[in-house]
Structure 1
Amino acid sequence: MTTVATETPPSARPTDGLAELPVVPARHPWRWLAGAVALVVVAQFLHGLATNPGWDWQTFDAFLTAGTILRAVWVTVQLTCYGTVLGFVLGAVVAALRLSRSAILQTIAWTYTWAFRSIPLIVQLVFWFNLSYLYKRLGIGVPFGPTVFSFDTVDLLGALGAAVLGLALHQAAYAAEIIRAGVIAVDGGQLEAAAALGIPRLRQARRIVLPQAMRSILPTAGNEVISLFKGTSIVYVMAIGELFYQVQVIYGRTGRVVPLLMVATVWYVVLTTLLTVLQYYVERYFARGAERTPPPTPLQRARAFVSRVQSARRGAPTPIGDR
């Protein structure tokens, strides 16, 4: 006769009295103490903002949306857009040269990156602003031969043009390394498989390399754009009416340094926040291939929270998708 051993189910096993032990939540007194101290410091700072007359909030309110400030903000936005677009277009070309198989092109691209990352941005801006001092005329013609067409450099670049050129060339050196790093992060085996299938190189770059490289490029590129946006304040040395220069002009005339600096700070914070939100959604778009169910956006989380509150008030069960 065969005896079949039966395993005792987990629910029927003796628990040795563990179920009767009280459950005590973990206590973290130092964590609560640190949080309380942080809240006190924040409260003191906010109280100082509200009560200290040195902040001069009346002057801040008078100039925050003044026409002069708004025009300066627009100039700052223009410099950022032009520098970003031209910088990343040129950076893509430099990155392609660095990834090429030509030793000459690689050397030229490496030298460009080395030079423009080594020279401070303010020096580059002043140099391009004084380009006409070195080259009074530029021409197009046969190399080392006769000139077919020439023009004066005095009328070629104004202050704004020199600022855009300097920002774009400076940005291109960093953009090239960002793009190159994103491209080489893509697994080379995928390109080999695509080549074995007979997919053209241009389509490989557009359909295989670029979508995957963008996931590595975008976080660093977004930080670089934000740095460029704040770096546009350096063009004040060229007397361009961007935000920081205009704030300096106003507080030099009125003597209200702190409230005018707060005006510039608030505008920089607002525009940087908008760029950060834009970067978040662009990164989310290019992460579709890596994440089948991307995490909810802040707006989706807010809607889910409102839905849970409404369901709790009505006494209805919370929808599964909102749990």
Structure 2
Amino acid sequence: MTGPFALFKWEALFQDWTIFAQGFFTTILISLSALALAICLGIIFGVFGALHYKIPRTISKIYVSIIQNTPLVIQIFFLYNMLPHLGITLPVFTVGVLGVGIYHGAYISEVVRGGIGAVPVGQMESALSQGFTHLEGMRYIILPQAIRLMLPPLTNQAVSLIKNTSVMAMIAGGDLMYHADSWASNNLYYGPGYVATAILYLLLCLPLAKFAVRLEKRIGVAR
């Protein structure tokens, strides 16, 4: 049998499974690190966007507008190629974490801002009447209630983040896509290489996607 999915090509893939395993675990590490950064940035800029103060709201709008309206690839290339000209040289892993984390931080900030906006205004008014400052009311009253509403879209953002780590293949990032593409190019076994890669991404993303759907249903029933 010949063709893109010939049996001997699959045999070669299983013999070289450690290459894919290395990329798979690197993708997991990048995803977890970038997600932690994205959540931190998302909370900070999401709260900024929901405050009644002009300066933090403006800062949030600038961040979100720039990041959401430029391609992730350009942002990764900027960190990888331009920062060394400024005297800043970062490991490829760090470039990936920063690039993907900052990118998704902008989207998570909108999720956070929307979650805060979904909490009834009376909750903040009650907090202020009890002597809380606006920030204290946000921290102790609004955010705990908003988190439940944020969970489904946050889970969807996690799925998108995992898939977007594949851009690191363009800067030899050692992720799953990079290892798969290198292996497939070296052997010209593109069929098995890309099918195996798609399956590994499915193993990471599909459970999260199903979890997000379940969360949405639970919140819908609770309402």
The one-letter code matched in structure 2 to 1:56 is: A
Structure number with the bigger relative contact order (C-alpha 8 A, sep ≥ 6) is 2
- Per-residue deviation at 1:222? 1.2
**CA deviation map 1:263-302 (0-9, x unaligned):** 0011011111232355467x38x859937xxxxxxxxxxx
Contact 2:30 2:97 in 1 (8 A): yes
Question: Is structure 2 residue 48 aligned with structure 1 residue 59?
Answer: no
Alignment-derived partner of residue 204 in structure 2: 271
**How far apart in 2 are the matches of 1:52 and 1:275?**
37
Alignment-derived partner of residue 109 in structure 1: 60
**How far apart in 2 are the matches of 1:90 and 1:131?**
22
- Per-residue deviation at 1:77? 0.8
Larger CA deviation: 57-66 vs 225-234: 57-66
The one-letter code matched in structure 2 to 1:290 is: A
Question: Is structure 2 residue 109 aligned with structure 1 residue 158?
Answer: no
Larger CA deviation: 163-172 vs 209-218: 209-218
Contact 1:60 1:263 in 2 (8 A): no
Root mean square deviation of aligned Cα: 2.8
Identical columns (%): 25
Question: Is structure 2 residue 73 aligned with structure 1 residue 122?
Answer: yes
TM-score when scaled to structure 2?
0.86
**CA deviation map 1:168-205 (0-9, x unaligned):** 11111111111000101110112223443456766644
- Per-residue deviation at 1:128? 0.3
Contact 1:160 1:240 in 2 (8 A): yes
Alignment-derived partner of residue 301 in structure 1: none
Call closer, same or farther: CA 1:210–1:62 in 2, change over 3 Å.
Answer: farther
- Per-residue deviation at 1:220? 1.4
Contact 2:50 2:116 in 1 (8 A): no
- Per-residue deviation at 1:84? 0.8
**How far apart in 1 are the matches of 2:159 and 2:197?**
15
**CA deviation map 1:42-61 (0-9, x unaligned):** xxxxxxxxx99643356346
Could you tell me which runs of 5 or more consecutive residues in structure 1 were left unpaired when the two chains were aligned.
1-50, 137-152, 292-323
Contact 2:24 2:176 in 1 (8 A): yes
User: Which protein has the bigger helix share?
Assistant: 2
- Per-residue deviation at 1:251? 1.1
Alignment-derived partner of residue 213 in structure 1: 146
Kindly tell me the number of residue pairs found equivalent between the two proteins: 221
Alignment-derived partner of residue 222 in structure 2: 290
Contact 1:60 1:262 in 2 (8 A): no
The one-letter code matched in structure 2 to 1:254 is: N
**How far apart in 2 are the matches of 1:100 and 1:202?**
8
SS at match of 2:174: coil
- Per-residue deviation at 1:167? 0.9
The structure 1 residue matched to 2:21, chosen from 32, 55, 70, is: 70
The one-letter code matched in structure 1 to 2:111 is: I
Contact 2:149 2:219 in 1 (8 A): no
**CA deviation map 1:239-279 (0-9, x unaligned):** 11111111111111111111111100110111112323554
**How far apart in 2 are the matches of 1:107 and 1:199?**
24
The structure 1 residue matched to 2:40, chosen from 79, 83, 89, is: 89
TM-score when scaled to structure 1?
0.61
**How far apart in 2 are the matches of 1:97 and 1:275?**
28
Considering only CA atoms, is the larger Rg found in Structure 1 or Structure 2? 1
The structure 2 residue matched to 1:251, chosen from 175, 179, 184, is: 184
Contact 1:100 1:106 in 2 (8 A): yes
